[in-house]
Structure formats: C-alpha cells, structure tokens
Amino acid sequence: MYPSRFLPAALLLAVGTSAAIAQEQPRNNLYFELGGNGLFSSINYERQLTTTPGLQVRAGVGFYSEKGLYLTVPVGINYLFPLNDKRSFVDAGLGATWAIDEGRLSTKDRASTESFFNIIPSVGYRRHAANNLMWRISVGPVINNTAFTPWAGVSIGKRF
C-alpha cells in the first residue's frame, strides 16, 4: 500500500467518524421534578432506549408529605413523539410510585409502617433546549386504592 493513498483515506475516515460522533444526541437525562411521578418532588435518571428520541425508562427517589413524610420511589416508561421542531416533543408515559412513611424501608414494628402504591399515566410537552438542558410539563391522574386525583408535574434537568 502506498502512503500517499493511505493518508487521504485515513483522514476522510477520521473526519467522517468524528462528524457522526458529534451529531449523536445525548441519551441520558438527570432532572428534578416537582409533582409528577415523585408525588411532591424527586430526582430522576432517565435513559433513552432508542437511537432517536422515542422509548425511555426512568427511576428516581423523592419525598411526599401528607399525613407524614414519605419516601417515594418513582419508576416509569415514556415515549417521545416529535413535533415539527426537532427539540419539541409530546411526552406520553406510564409511571408507578411506591411510597413508604418516614423512609422506613424495613422496620421491626411493621404495624406502624404505612406504604402505598400509585399508578400515574401522564401526557405533556417536553423541550430539549440549548446546552443540553431539558424541561417538561405533564398532566395526568394519580390512581391508587383510595383515590383518583388529577395531578401535574414540572421537570427541569440536564441531558448527557
């Protein structure tokens, strides 16, 4: 192989590869949510499962206060439907949140421990802003064994 032919081919390959890497979008989100799946507030990690915005899974930890302080563990799956702009999406999902009072994941006195489970379907708007910031708003009910409550959430975070 002649060096004069190898060098231009190697340069083209390197430029093409770096351009493809530069265009790859972040597939992870770390965000704070007020309301939403965490009930009162939560910190969440979300992973995009598809190569373009589409199917995503998330998990988080937060707290909720009503009759006492509850530790919440929200998990969910959602799908981003792109709008005309490549940065705007309809965000539709289904979440589940487990809440346990005073953050006691295990206790000797189980009779005093209260926990509950919620299902939270939601639909909203998501925006991927400059500098890999993201925000969204969503609405949907909180469904559990005692109530069907209208609910909303606001999230802001970073894509990486």
Structural domain spans, the chain: 28-159
Token digits of residue 2: 């002649």
Q: How many helices (H) and strands (E) does the chain have?
A: 1, 8
Q: Would you state the pLDDT for residue 67?
A: 73
Please state, in angstroms and rounded to a whole number, the distance separating the CA atoms of residues 121 and 149. 11
63 closest CA partner among 43, 84, 81: 43
Q: Would you state the pLDDT for residue 1?
A: 47
Please state, in angstroms and rounded to a whole number, the distance separating the CA atoms of residues 112 and 77. 32
141 within 8 A of 149, measured Cβ to Cβ: yes
Give the number of residues written for the chain. Answer: 160
Q: Would you state the pLDDT for residue 13?
A: 57
122 closest CA partner among 30, 58, 71: 58
Q: Would you state the pLDDT for residue 28?
A: 96
Q: Would you state the pLDDT for residue 10?
A: 52
Q: Would you state the pLDDT for residue 146?
A: 87
- Residues 6 or more apart whose CB falls under 8 angstroms from that of 35 comprise 41, 151, 152, 153, 154
Q: Would you state the pLDDT for residue 52?
A: 87
Segments in the chain below pLDDT 70: 1-24, 102-113
Q: Would you state the pLDDT for residue 19?
A: 41
**From the candidate CATH numbers 2.40.160.20, 2.40.50.180, 3.40.50.300, 3.40.366.10, the one assigned to the domain spanning 28-159:** 2.40.160.20
pTM of this structure: 0.77
